[in-house]
Structure 1
Amino acid sequence: MSFYRGMTCENVTIKGDKGTPITAYVAKTTGVSGKVPGVVLIHHLPGWDDYYMEMTRRFAHAGYNAICHNLYEREGGQNNPDDVAAKVRADGGIADAQMVGDTEAAVQWLRAQPNHNGKVGAIGTCSGGRHAFIYACRKKDVDACADLWGGRVVMGKEELNAKTPVAPIDMTKDLCCPLLGLFGNDDRAPSPEQVNQHEAELKKHGKVHEFHRYDGAGHGFFYWHRPLYRIEQAMDGWSKVYAFFGEHLAK
């Protein structure tokens, strides 16, 4: 694949769920001839943070237009991500339906770009991986989805509530696009057993997918700024992400 050093980055305002204005960080590749695909990044529970800004730029560097919208705008806007995330965590997270509405706005922003090639991928880590999978089941406007160690895809009935009324695994039959899953075998959320259960459901419904499991890696093994980081597994994981999106979005 090709990498491009030129990009433009800025904050934009999009109309999220129920028309609520929310902020999104965007990075657009420059120096590319022709049309380019888009990637929506759905951030993790640590929040709309610097890691996700860097990850958004990484996709622009790889030849995509990328957008990462602030799912926690209503809970604290652009204040310290750690403080906002703590409030969101204390409130039991955000509603799945609200996330879908906000993410739809991000997808629409990408599709409105004049150099868009017509293809959009969704990717998220941790809670964002769960959210990316939910979005690809609830909507039909993404062409590929990457779930990186998304927990709470498999949920017991006792875990369901008004914000999360349906377990994501029970949405599998409605998955609209190919799915990539990356997981650490030392993780407990999701556990290897839950990952197996998720994959079994995908096979049951004949969904196109590829799951990769990494020994010696736990939750968050891409996070270079934390002790969770596992360099060899992360490098291989990124190669899998680029290959997957290259196959389903760039052609």
Structure 2
Amino acid sequence: MATVQDSDFDSLVPGLPLSRRTFVGGSLAAGFALAVQPALGQSVVVTPADGLVAGEITVPAPDGVALKAYRAQPAGKGPFPTVLVVQEIFGVHEYIRDVCRRLARQGYQAIAPNLFQRQGDPAGIDSVADILAKVVSKVPDAQVLADLDATAAWAAANGGDGARLGITGFCWGGRITWLYAAHNPKLKAGVAWYGRLTGVASAMTPHHPIDVVDKISAPVLGLYGAKDQGIPVSDVDDMKADLAKAGKRVEFVVYPDAGHAFHADYRPSYRAADAADGWGRLLAWFKASGL
């Protein structure tokens, strides 16, 4: 069965190059919907909430929206170093919540805000093409960055350590991780999992990671797959060269046999060894960065 990656949302956003329109095609999209829809997937890694403070919270957003988020942290007073967890196109589903619990078991306060809340709920849409067209393509970067700022502020006032802030994100969230590293000068570190690095500017996405290299202030670890059909290794090489020229502290790991979404344990793309290696690198990166 053919599959489509969530990085292919490029093809449904107006103004992006035709060469990336690999998504369009009835049989491809139809096959993908049942193959990897998060509500149907079975996660390989299941992290219990025992001994943690975990559950839904509400974050006051700048525009007055009561932003829903999932928070997990160790029991106790804290303050704990905070990690913002940024979703894939499928929203804050069980896999993302489990990532928060995994981080909480390592001593972090991990929070995944629902960054699509205003635009719609991907869980109620059974077509990936519709998720991309009806929800993801309508989410402006400026809104996302402001919501992440609000989440960081909530964390600092509710058991988190505002001086120790990190971020990690997957696919759509991987791209946002790079952008947030250029947006928030107080960020200590970021880890971007197979996030898109290039693209054509639009009203919703005026800049892409490669456009904001000079503004990146936090050390970022990029984790990518050499067989990712949506993010060529040449894009990684270009980003790496630009960051090196700008004197930024970054590191890239490209897994030779991995494709896109190799950490997503509820999807056929999951590669257990590469996911485990990447997770270990994430923890080491955060600790080396003072988190």
TM-score (norm 2): 0.77
**SS of alignment partner, residue 234 of structure 2:** helix
- 1:176-195 → structure 2 map (5 Å cutoff): 176-195=217-236
Asked if the contact 1:119–1:143 (Cα under 8 Å) also holds between the matched residues in 2, the reply is: yes
Match for residue 209 of structure 2? 168
Q: Quickly say closer, same or farther: Cα 1:84–1:139, change in 2 above 3 A.
A: farther
Counterpart of 1:76 (choices 114, 120, 123) is 120
The amino acid that maps onto 2:111 is: I
Q: Deviations over 1:193-216 (max 9, x none)?
A: 101111111111100011111011
Contact (CA 8 Å) 1:23, 1:70: kept in 2 or not? yes
Letter in 1 for 2:239: H
Aligned-residue offset at 1:76 = 2.9
Q: Give the match's secondary structure for 2:262.
A: coil
Aligned-partner Cα distance in 2 for 1:43–1:115 = 20
Instruction: Assess, with a 3 A threshold, how the Cα gap between structure 1 residues 93 and 129 changes in structure 2: closer, same or farther.
Output: farther
| 1:217 positional shift | 0.3
Q: Secondary structure of 1:242's match? A: helix
**What is the aligned partner in structure 1 of residue 287 from structure 2?**
246
- State the one-letter code of the partner of 1:230: R
Q: Give the residue type in structure 2 aligned to 1:124.
A: G
- 1:207 aligned residue: 248
Out of 128, 133, 156, the residue aligned to residue 90 of structure 1 is 133
**Alpha carbons 1:107, 1:141 under 8 Å: kept:** no
- Inter-partner Cα distance in structure 2 for 1:22 and 1:109: 11
Q: Which residue does the alignment assign to 1:113? A: 158
Partner letter of residue 284 of structure 2?
A: A
The worse-fitting range, judged by mean Cα deviation, of 6-15 and 204-213 is 6-15
Scaled by the length of structure 1, the TM-score of the pair is 0.89
Q: Secondary structure at the match of 2:253?
A: strand
Aligned-CA RMSD value: 2.1
* Counterpart amino acid of residue 106 in structure 2: A
Matched residue of 2:260: which SS? Answer: coil
Which residues in structure 2 correspond to 1:136-155 (within 5 Å)?
136-151=181-196, 153-155=197-199
| CA–CA separation in structure 1 for the residues paired with 2:59 and 2:160 | 19
- One of 54, 57, 67 as aligned partner of 2:101: 57
What is the identity, as a one-letter code, of the residue corresponding to 1:76?
Answer: G
Cα distance in structure 2, aligned partners of 1:121 and 1:13: 20
Q: 1:198 aligns with which of 236, 239, 242?
A: 239
Partner of 1:127: 172
Separation (CA, whole Å) in 2 of partners of 1:22 and 1:83? 24
Mean Cα deviation higher: 162-171 or 179-188: 162-171
Flag the 1:97–1:27 CA change in 2: closer, same or farther, 3 A: same
Residues 168/113 of structure 1: CA separation in 2 closer, same or farther (3 Å cut): same
Correspondence for 1:40: 84
Q: 1:5: how far off?
A: 5.7
| Compared CA separation, residues 194 and 7, structure 1 to 2 (3 A) | same
Q: Aligned letter for 2:224?
A: F
Counterparts of 1:117 and 1:74, CA distance in 2: 26
Report the CA distance between 1:83 and its aligned residue. Answer: 5.1
Task: Give the match for residue 218 of structure 1.
Answer: 259
- Return the index of the structure with the highest Cα Rg: 2
Mapped to 1, the partners of 2:69 and 2:128 lie a distance apart of 17
Q: Does the alignment pair 1:28 with 2:73?
A: yes
CA 1:226–1:154 in structure 2 vs 1: closer, same or farther (change >3 Å)? Answer: same
Q: Unpaired runs of 5+ in structure 1?
A: none
Structure 2 spans left out of the alignment, 5+ residues? 1-48
1:13 deviates by 1.0
Distance 1:202 1:25 in 2: 33
Mark the CA change 1:84 to 1:248 in structure 2 (over 3 Å): closer, same or farther.
farther
- Identity between Structure 1 and Structure 2 (%): 32
Secondary structure of the 1:74 match is coil
CA shift in 2, pair 1:5/1:244, >3 Å: farther
The answer to whether residue 111 in structure 2 is matched with residue 67 in structure 1 is yes
SS in 1 for 2:163: strand
2-structure distance, mates of 1:25, 1:84: 24
Residue 190 of structure 1: CA displacement?
Answer: 1.5
Extract structure 1 runs of 4+ deviating beyond 6 A: none
Shift of 1:36: 2.2
